[in-house]
Amino acid sequence: MAVPIAVLDCDLLLYGRGHRTLDRFKLEDVTDEYLVSTYGFPRQFICYLVDLLGATLSRPTQRSRAISPETQILAALGFYTSGSFQTRMGDAIGISQASMSRCVANVTEALVERASQFIHFPKDEATVQTLKEDFYGLAGMPGVLGVVDCTHVAIKAPNAEDLSYVNRKGLHSLNCLMVCDSRGVLLSAETHWPGSLADCTVLEQAALTSQFETELHKDGWLLGDSSFLLRTWLMTPLHIPETPAEYRYNMAHSATHNVIERTFRTIRARFRCLDGSKGTLQYSPEKSSHIILACCVLHNISLQHGLDVWSAPATGHVEQSEEEYEQTESMDSEACRVRQELLLTHFS
């Protein structure tokens, strides 16, 4: 009797029943060193992800052999950290490239669903105060709630003839707006903006702006570079500092804002699918945006688990934002007053 093709497993067709799969491969059978070298993370971290995502990844399936949550997570981590679906990775976990791709899609969506759980600004006053104190300890800049910047991640050209994703270098990319704290923990990540948009335009249209203008704390601010306009809640450098106080302000601003650049470098170093060394992300803008956001969630979880991303080496091609800053001072008189008061109170 013919077997309906819908119930056949492509891994079974490719490898046969005797091929070793990760459903038989146990984490306890291998060393942490092996897990880190192959999948980018140690056993404890992987087990945490299995607990976190297991129920979501165990959805009913019509396939004859559902791929276990553990297998799906290892496949996705292998892709995120290597940027490759090559046979070596598939052989390591005993599944086909097609199944690898499905695993990455499943784990990515499960992580994106939990983004707000791991990427958010603190709400309680004690945590907000600690946030400010940690930033102040870096270079003496008071009132800082986060540092903000944009970075580009290269993607394949969309199927549609859409020039909105072509950036200043003539490459297709997503322009990602992110905010981090003094340790590099992401407090906000908007990864879906087309690469043609300038950083200041992204911020103008971002949910982040609505949050700070309508919801968040009035007694602090973000720090942004000169690609952004000065706002009451966003302190930018002075274009041409003239007084000693203005020079001190700019130096403290630069030293503090550098945290976000280090964060970008270390995220790319850990998640090689984003660094361009294996080529662009071969997905639609929407799916590419979700992969970037999933890596951001993993970045924050890794910091929660004490994994030191600051020590990760920066490797591969980095498609960073390279704005040609138009040094135009903000016409917002209240924002200018806030910055001037900050200069007089803390840097004079």
- Percent of the chain that is helix, strand, coil (3-state, to 5): 50, 10, 40
pLDDT at residue 236 in the model: 97
What the block records as the tokens of 297 is: 């969630």
Domain spans, the chain:
20-58+66-115, 119-283+329-347
Q: Are 151 and 109 in contact (CB under 8 A)?
A: no
Per run of 10 residues, the mean pLDDT along the chain (length 348 residues) is 39 37 62 87 94 88 68 92 68 74 94 97 93 96 97 90 88 96 97 96 96 79 96 94 96 97 94 85 94 98 82 45 51 90 94
User: How confident is the model at residue 57, as a pLDDT?
Assistant: 92
d(CA 327, CA 230): 11
Q: Which sign, positive or negative, has the C-alpha torsion 110, 112, 114, 119?
A: positive
